[in-house]
Amino acid sequence: MRLFPHLAPVSGLSLVLALAIIPQAGADERPSQPADGNGVYVGGFAGYSRGSVRPVIVDAGITAVPGTYGNLTGGLIAGYRRMIGSRWVAGVEADVAFPNYLDSDAIAHGQTVGANRYVERMNAVGTLRGRIGYVFGDWTLFGTGGLAWSIGRVSRTPLGAGTAEEHERRRLGWAAGAGIERAMGGGWAARAEYLYTDLGAIDAAFAGGARYRSTLGAHYVRLGLTYRPGAAGPEGIPNALPDLPRVEVKGQTTLIYQGYPSFSAAYTGPNSFLPTSQIRQTWTGSLFIGVRLWEGAELHYSPELAQGFGLAGTFGAGGYPNGEAQKSSFLYPRYNTSRLYLRQTFGLGGPREELSSEWGQMSGSRDISRVTVQVGKFSVKDMFDNNAYAQDSRTDFLNWSIWAGGAFDYPADLVGLTYGAAAELNQPNFALRSGYFLIGSTPNANHFDRAVFRRGGYVGEVELRFQMFGQTTKLRLTGFVNHYLAGSYREALGLVASNPGLDPTDAITQTRRSRVKYGYVVNLEQPITEDLGVFARWSWNNGRTEIAAFTDIDASFSGGLQLKGTVWNRPQDRIGLGFAINQLSRDHRDYLAAGGLGILVGDGQLTYRAERVFEAFYSAALPYNTTLTLNYQLLVNPAYNADRGHWCRSCPRACALPSDAFLRSGWTPAKCAVCPVGGTPAALHADTVRPSRISRKGLCQPGPDHRATGWPHPDRLDGNSLQRSTEERMRATSLSSRIRFDRLSLSPVLWRSEPHVAAAVLQASLAALLARHGGRVFWALALTHAILSVVAPAIGFHTLPRDTIEGFLWG
């Protein structure tokens, strides 16, 4: 028997493989290198494709209207090369290309015939080719040819009522092309190439005798970068690199498997976590390329491939549990230019600081006092609301409301990126940042509003640095204003009231016009020792209009800690504990309760409670720059809905929530769920709001199995005896379940039934780990106690006063 289906726990396992950081020099900073050598190489490319489709559609006649398409593409390369003499090189190469992440970029052809819409999509195109080239100095001129293949889908969708049909189809054809490649030293080579592919014909049959046939040919122009492990560098040493590089290349790939067990739900809406158990997978692979252009100027480019699905299609919670899950789900990988920006730094003199080569940062040195300007495509989070302990879902916390201020509705497309300009003034003790960014043409959109400076997102931040506990504390105050086309929750409800039958989601689109959303984030980053640090964020927005881009949160408080494994001789390992309490404004919750849908949430109904999140992870460093992370999350009231997953408290064994905190909270679900011990559910009445006034009107009717369960008969239950018997039963069952979770060092049964014991064990463990730091133990334990005092009610250990802060947040 599951003891806590209402907790809707979500657990995830992530595998992070970081490729070695390998900076490279420009040609003018190293001796000329012959493009020789044999061996295997791997790499990636990005470019543009232009194709033509010649369809024949049989549907109430024969239609043959050719079409063209064009899109950005990106992909992977692997091959083998071998020198023939001193000037010729031959080899074999395979590649696979994927379309850009926009839905329209995967469409090769779309056409309406009669009462149906036919669409052909390209998911992947690959080749297997031979190569032969002529080498002169650093350069190789080559020709190539071989087989080509593709995977796509053809669909027919009725314009009116009816069922859509879809078929996967594979093509086989040929490819030929030519290009030029330049050796850069250390096994790296850059290339430019052209390919033409003829992918042959496909045939798809549909109901009613309809058919779709087509042939397809495409031109590709692309730039690539390859790496040959073990190649000799300028010093004759494998992968040796010169000093003061002009080009740096880094890479990372992240694979996440995440799932949750089944839980009970009175109802399920379009944007709900499904009550049945799920396991989903996401994957990203990224390169980070930095180029020094002139003094203080850097060009950064990051091509990325993304694939996978978030739990429930990336719906179901404001604090969504996977930061790698895109709002656009991809069965096959998709290409994305995730970063492309120019950064100019103006030094103001004085002391300098050394920089290591990291993501978005090139090695070298710079003035501490400086002005930095950045223009291009990047994420607002790259420069604003940073925190060393909760920042990147690829390396630390996964939950959206922990690695960011949950109510920070920053401009972005569906994958979290935008175009804009930002500037920073940095001084030893403070920093000032401001930026302007394009915002979606509609809420939660991939296309941006081009009314530059008339609409858009404005962000400002002040960062203060001072000393506490002998460490540098950072306090960031971020404010944002979004001027965008959006609907009003309250106006939409007014339309629904005056037009019965109008769907609230349709109603809010009718209220869209230029509006303003504003808010702020308070962000604390506090190291305690070299190995331990804590963080906290409080974020808020006015909550009257639709979410622009991030997630359905109007106020959020989050915090936690990270601890390095130095004490147990694993200095690269990390433990993280975090929590979040997320809330909605009154307008927002009323809109959802009426059946409206948000960006990530919308159950069709709503019994509002604050959404509560707990997250814990252990990140273990493995050889070859690989990290294996076990991540556990607990979501209470996902999507702010106390009806979904909660047990009705009427039946003490299974349809009552076994928690004195819940009984003291004064909340009851709208109706009893299924009583699994033979009772008959009965509606809950208003006079059952407090445990002391529970009557038979609010209890499941007695069933034959109640006596066998050891529970008191419902006829003899009042509120106090129900609470006592529930607590006793839980303490008895938690002992057997506690061992089951011991190896994870985190048991929802233990934590739920014995919160004080769990807190004491955790505090004692931290005390032992920090004993070596002497006088800092007191402060560390004090902060730990403060965090636990908040975490405990956040995930339901104790009762939170209802509407404590809601009155003055939104009026």
Amino acid letter, residue 684: L
* pLDDT of res. 339: 95
Same domain, 628 and 696: no
Same domain, 79 and 116: yes
Q: Is 185 left (phi over 0), alpha (psi -120 to 50) or beta?
A: left
Q: Is residue 799 part of a domain?
A: no
Q: What is the distance between the alpha carbons of residues 753 and 729, in angstroms, rounded to a whole number?
A: 10
pLDDT of 771 > 90? The answer is no
Which residues, in sequence order, are CB contacts of 773 under 8 Å at separation 6+? 529, 780
Q: Is residue 733 part of a domain?
A: yes
Give the bridge partners for 342, in sequence order: 299, 375
Which residues, in sequence order, are CB contacts of 235 under 8 Å at separation 6+? none
Least confident range from 237-251, 352-366, 459-473: namely 237-251
Q: Is residue 14 part of a domain?
A: no
Which residues, in sequence order, are CB contacts of 619 under 8 Å at separation 6+? 395, 396, 573, 574, 575, 576, 627, 628, 629
Q: Is residue 232 part of a domain?
A: no
* pLDDT of res. 210: 87
Can you give the residue range of the structural domain that contains 58? 29-227
Same domain, 636 and 663: no
Q: What is the distance between the alpha carbons of residues 520 and 654, in angstroms, rounded to a whole number?
A: 42
Closest CA to 41 of 97, 95, 98: 95
- Comparing 654 with 622, the larger pLDDT belongs to 622
Q: Is residue 761 part of a domain?
A: yes
Reported as a single tens digit per residue, the pLDDT across 93-109 is 999 999 998 888 888 88
* pLDDT of res. 249: 87
What tokens were used for 265? Answer: 């739900």
Give this prediction's pTM: 0.77
Same domain, 610 and 704: no
Same domain, 206 and 272: no
In 547-662, DSSP assigns E strands to 555-565, 570-583, 611-622, 626-636
Least confident range from 53-67, 344-358, 637-651, 770-784: namely 770-784
pLDDT of 552 > 80? The answer is yes
* pLDDT of res. 731: 31
Q: CATH number of the domain at 578, please.
A: 2.40.160.180
* pLDDT of res. 245: 64
DSSP structure class, residue 671 = B
Task: Say if CB 16 and CB 254 are below 8 A apart.
Answer: yes
Q: Is residue 802 part of a domain?
A: no
Q: What is the distance between the alpha carbons of residues 205 and 299, in angstroms, rounded to a whole number?
A: 49
Give the bridge partners for 42, in sequence order: 78, 227
Q: Is residue 20 part of a domain?
A: no
Task: Say if CB 405 and CB 319 are below 8 A apart.
Answer: no
Task: Say if CB 657 and CB 27 are below 8 A apart.
Answer: no
What is the DSSP secondary-structure string of 371-384?
A: EEEEEEEE-GGGTS
Q: What is the distance between the alpha carbons of residues 317 and 615, in angstroms, rounded to a whole number?
A: 14
Confidence of residue 80 (pLDDT cuts 50, 70, 90): very high
Task: Say if CB 238 and CB 232 are below 8 A apart.
Answer: yes
What tokens were used for 356? Answer: 């290591």
Instruction: Look at residues 582, 606, 640 and tell me which one is the last residue of a structural domain.
Output: 640
Average pLDDT on 784-799 reads 45
pLDDT of 789 > 60? The answer is no
Average pLDDT on 776-787 reads 47
pLDDT of 163 > 90? The answer is no
Instruction: Look at residues 610, 640, 670 and tell me which one is the last residue of a structural domain.
Output: 640
Paired sense of beta strands 39-58 and 62-63, if any: antiparallel
Q: CATH number of the domain at 186, please.
A: 2.40.160
Average pLDDT on 563-573 reads 94
Give the burial class of 272: count Cβ atoms within 10 A of its Cβ; 0-12 exposed, 13-18 middle, 19 or more buried.
Answer: buried
pLDDT of 19 > 80? The answer is no
Is the C-alpha dihedral spanning 694, 699, 704, 706 positive or negative? negative
Q: What is the distance between the alpha carbons of residues 470 and 532, in angstroms, rounded to a whole number?
A: 13
Q: Is residue 426 part of a domain?
A: yes
Same domain, 715 and 618: no
Instruction: Look at residues 227, 252, 267 and tell me which one is the last residue of a structural domain.
Output: 227
Element (H, E) at 719: helix 719-740
Task: Say if CB 710 and CB 703 are below 8 A apart.
Answer: no
Reported as a single tens digit per residue, the pLDDT across 728-766 is 332 322 222 222 222 222 222 222 222 333 333 333 333
Same domain, 633 and 742: no
Task: Say if CB 738 and CB 750 are below 8 A apart.
Answer: yes
Q: What is the distance between the alpha carbons of residues 261 and 545, in angstroms, rounded to a whole number?
A: 34
Least confident range from 17-31, 163-177, 241-255, 730-744: namely 730-744
What φ, ψ does residue 559 adopt, rounded to 5°? Answer: -175, 180
Q: What is the distance between the alpha carbons of residues 609 and 270, in angstroms, rounded to a whole number?
A: 19
Same domain, 368 and 347: yes
- The count of structural domains within the chain is 3
Reported as a single tens digit per residue, the pLDDT across 437-449 is 999 999 999 999 9
Closest CA to 752 of 730, 772, 724: 730
| pLDDT averaged over every residue in the chain | 78
pLDDT of 576 > 70? The answer is yes
Same domain, 451 and 591: yes
Least confident range from 318-327, 756-765, 791-800: namely 756-765
Confidence of residue 315 (pLDDT cuts 50, 70, 90): very high
* pLDDT of res. 810: 56
Same domain, 476 and 332: yes
Task: Say if CB 508 and CB 596 are below 8 A apart.
Answer: yes
* pLDDT of res. 3: 31
Least confident range from 629-633, 697-701, 744-748, 797-801: namely 744-748
Least confident range from 195-199, 260-264, 459-463, 654-658: namely 654-658
Closest CA to 98 of 320, 337, 439, 422: 337
> By percentage, how much of the chain surpasses pLDDT 90?
57
Confidence of residue 346 (pLDDT cuts 50, 70, 90): very high
> By percentage, how much of the chain surpasses pLDDT 70?
73
- Comparing 735 with 35, the larger pLDDT belongs to 35
Same domain, 400 and 487: yes
791 to 406, 590, 663: CA distances (angstroms): 16, 27, 19
Task: Say if CB 695 and CB 688 are below 8 A apart.
Answer: yes
- Comparing 733 with 492, the larger pLDDT belongs to 492
Same domain, 216 and 256: no
